[in-house]
Each structure stands twice: as C-alpha cells, then as structure tokens.
Structure 1
C-alpha cells in the first residue's frame, strides 16, 4: 500500500469498499437494532449513517468494525467476507466519540501505538508519526500529555492514531459531537478535505442533519434498524422518500393533498397548478416559498397572515397561517422590506420548489 500522502487524489475509484447483505443484529429482549440491512459503500467515498438515537447507526458501524457480529447476513470489506474476522484483522480503524486516548502516553506515543503493536521498527514509527502529525496539523504537539490538550486537539490525535495504520476504511462514531459549535464547524471542513486528499473510504455516524449534508458524498437515513433512504445529501433533502425522512431532515411544511388530476392538486391552501408527484402530502421547502412582490414570479399564489418573524442574520424566518395550516418560510436578507407580525401578505409556491411524500 502506498503511504497515504502519496496516494493519487481524485482518481476514479468505482469498486466497492463495503458491502452489507441482509445483515441483522438483535440484543436483549428481542430488540432488533439492525434489521436486514443492505448497503454498498464505494471506495474513496465519504458515506454517512444518519438517524435519531436508537435507529441502529452505531450498531451497524460496530458490525463493520467487528466489535459486534451479525446474527444473520454478510459483511464484505475490500472484497473479503468478514464472517468471524476479529477487529484487529480487519483493514478498518475506528475513531470513537470519546476518542479513547491513552492518558499515560503523550501525543507521539498515542499516534504510534498501532505501529508499536505491529512490531514496527522504532525509526519508522518516529518518521511515520511525524508525517501523520504534520498532515493532521498537530506536529507541534507531539511531546504534550493528553491532559494538556483541548477537545479539538484530542480529536486530531485520535484521527492521526487511526490513520497511521493506513486502513482501507476509517469508521467515525460521532467524533465531533462533544465539541463547541464553532470548532465543530471548522473540523467538519478539515475532515472532509483530509478525506479528499487521502482518497480513503470514510464511514461517518451522526444524528446531525447539517453535519451529514456538509460532509457526505452519500448518506443513508436509518429508522428502527432499517435504511429508509440512500442518496446524495441534496437528493435526500429535496426529495425525501417518506414523511419520516422529511421530518428528520428538518422539514416542517406538509400540506395534505385532498385530490389531484393531470393539471394540479387540491389542498387546504387552495388549488395548486402544476406537475406534482403521487404522494399524499405536499412538501414545501421554506427557502422556495416566495413572499410579497416576489410571489408574482411563481404560478401559485394565496394569502397568509404573518404570525411570527424570526431574524437570523443571513435569513429571516416567517411563520405563516393560511387555510388552517401553519407554514414556515425562509428568506435571504438582501435589503428588501420586512413583513410585520399581523400583516396579510401574498405567498407564492412553484412546483419546482416542492416534493410529494407519503407515510
């Protein structure tokens, strides 16, 4: 295997790094944490397992790592079936939420631990540790003790320790969740850039929708041990496959469809003209709803009352009442007049800014 810093970046890699076929895992009292999951992750892909607490994403990650064994089904990594293969024999490494650093070892010896366990020559351990620390941006911290590190520094040390063994797949179990919002945002971008530079397969677990959308090439949304939808972040956000996915991705505007024909749909908002899908609810994305004069630019218009206005800096959110429904609209602040609470305004909806979903 080439040293990671020397691997080709951006070269096409179409083979599968991971394949999961009908994998299931149950725990006490018959709770099925993973339920007949099928999944394929491409080599060099940043793939995210996304879902609420208890959905099975961490259990699935542990099955990939070999920390749990499936009750049924098969897991293949790098073309090799993992039946009964222990964690240390798999070409994967894991970065845990707690980082799991050794407090009695300094940064240098934490990073080089895996190479020590392999019996690697001391000179090679030192050279590779220095190179990895430089790659991660912690080369000035090698002689520090773990207790002297900030949360972000510990995260980087854990990442360097996992990468130095040059695994085919890196598994990350919510490694950013304990960090403050600003640092978390910066490390999201750093981690994605690092993955692109290395061309390595990353499988990332999170419950944070924004984090998943920022970092992922593709993601899988899980619920009750099953994968509900797999796809690129924009496809899942703009065209969720079910109400569960839409709600989990943060959508709030669900308009019941009472009837439809080739020309449009009938809803509590009135008749909406256009080509809509076959679902029983219309999903209106807040950022696509047009307000005031801007409503004239789209084909479907109705009146609504502003119940609440929330200024968020770059955007302003409006809570609207219309047809017995409550709608959320989000508008970028570009110096246009603001609408006030209690005001009746014109609202516009285009079929291009909608999707249809069903239970």
Structure 2
C-alpha cells in the first residue's frame, strides 16, 4: 500500500478513535463511574470498585495510546511532506507506519538483575497496527465492564427487594405451618452492600435466591406432609366417631332387647368408655405431633392407633350385630306374620275354603307377637304353626 494511503488510513483511525472515546466519556455510565470512584463515603467498594477502576484506567490508557499514535502520525506526515527529488523519506515514513516505531513503555532494570551488556532501561515497542488492535480490544473490554457495573447497579436493588419480599412471605408461610424458618443471613449484608458493591451483590443475590428456593421447596414438602397427616387424622376421627356410635347403639340395643325380649341370651357389653377415652387422648397426642411437624412420629403413631381402633371396631360391630339379633329376628317374624295374614285375607276374598284351625293359629301368633316381653321361642313356634296351617289351604 502506498505511504499516502497508509497515512490516510491512520488519520481516519485516529479521528474515529477520538470521537468514540469522547462519546463514551460523555455517557452517564462513565460519568457515574468516575464520580463514584472519587466518592470515598458513598462510592463504589469491593469488587465493583476494582472493576470500575480497571475500566476507567483502561479508558485513560487509551487516550495515552491515542496520543502516541497521533504524535507518530504527525511525525510521519512531516517526513512525508519533506520527501522530494533530493530528499527521499519514504523509507523512514514506512518504518514509522509499519515498523516497531511505537514506544509503549520503558522498564528500568536494577543493577542487581542487569547483565554487563544490558541497558538500564528496557523499552517495549510495537507497530502502529499492533497498538490499534490492542486499543480496539481494550476499548471493548472497558466498555463492557462499565456496562456490567451499570447493569448490576440498576438490577441489584429491585432484585434484592423482590428476594426480601419472598423471604417475608416464606416466613409467614412457615409460621402458618408451625415450623421454624430464618431468612438467609446474607440478605441483610447484601442489602447494606447493594448500593456500593452491586457486582458482589449480584453473586450473593444468586446464592440467596438459591437458598430461598430451597426453603420454598422445604415448606412445600412440609405442607404436603401436613396435608397427608391431617387427612389421616380426619379419617381417624371418622373411625373414632363410628366406634362411639356403635357403642351407643349397642348399649341401646341391649336395653331395648331386655325390655322387649324375654330372657335374652348372648348379649355382649359394648366397648367400655375408658377404651374410647384412651383412643381419644391418644389421637389428640398424635394431632399435636402433626402441629409440631413431627411427621415421622405421626406416621408411626397413626399406624398403631388405627390397628388398635380397627380391632375395637371389629369387635364393636360384631357385638352390635349380636345385640340386635333377637330384635331383628322379632321384626323379621312380625313381617312374615303380616305377609301370612295378607295371604289368608286374599284366599278368603277368592272364596277359598280355609282350615277351621287357621283363625286360632292366627290368633295365637298375634298374641305371641303382642306379648311383653316377647317369648321368642314361643313366637317362632306360633308363627310357624300359623304358616303351616295356611300352607294346608293352598
């Protein structure tokens, strides 16, 4: 490429660089970063200060690099202008534009580390293109870093507020479940640092959010366990209510049988009140374990309680059926007697000749039914005789 074109390309690059650096410096992001770095009381701190300072330092270094290239451009332009028929400078200009002509920095080598033929100052050099490439990367890194700081500062406070709201809701939820809960301790520390160190705050917020999510899952698990336990307690109360009802009905059946049936046999006393009271107290203790969140103990306790209650229920159902047996048989015989009378009336209405002994058998069965208390064996015999007499009239 001709020297003139290289000079024009460098000039255009320098113009673009200066415009972009000035425009970036005028953004609120850069202004805010510079102001916060100067503020010792409310300025950036921690990781955010380090990153912001690094970015601002890079921007300042870009201006230094720009000035180095600008001076080189002026030098090359002056040499190019003096080039003529008797004064040829193209090689010098080309060396400036293509060679290791940019002196980046000089490093002093202590005598304790210097060789005999080494210079005291070691100079680092680069070509203009190498400097431009490095500046391009440096600009992007500084820009992105400042944008990261600005974004973190803008997002930290709302995110933290949302997490604190979640923590408060979880605390209320835990209290409603009767279980212990404590918000992540780092939330308070993050709250204090969110304004000054949003970058560190962002990482802490992620960890706090993860802890809150785990707490939410734990509480959800407790809610599910409580729902299962409450359903089991409700079912147990239903069994207990059935046992109490059976005891009452069985006692009533015994009383009714003794009043209506003569010399009843095989009656079984209902389950004792002390047994029911024991089951009530036991179930109340299990319910307290549910409220306290001791769900493993609830599971074991309910299994044992239900086994005991089921055994009592089986015995109570059998006792109730036994105590109702005479009453139910008496009712069944009465129903059979009424059906037999209806049959006899139907036969008479059709003009059938009925056995002369039938009215007496009917009257005998009726008296047996109306006797108080009922003599069940006599009732069976009387209704059986009435049925046999009626059968003869078919």
Q: TM-score, normalised by structure 1?
A: 0.19
- Structure showing the higher helix proportion among its residues: 2
- Structure showing the higher strand proportion among its residues: 1
Highest RCO, 1 vs 2 (Cα 8 Å, sep ≥ 6)? 1
Q: TM-score, normalised by structure 2?
A: 0.18
Q: Which has the larger radius of gyration?
A: 2
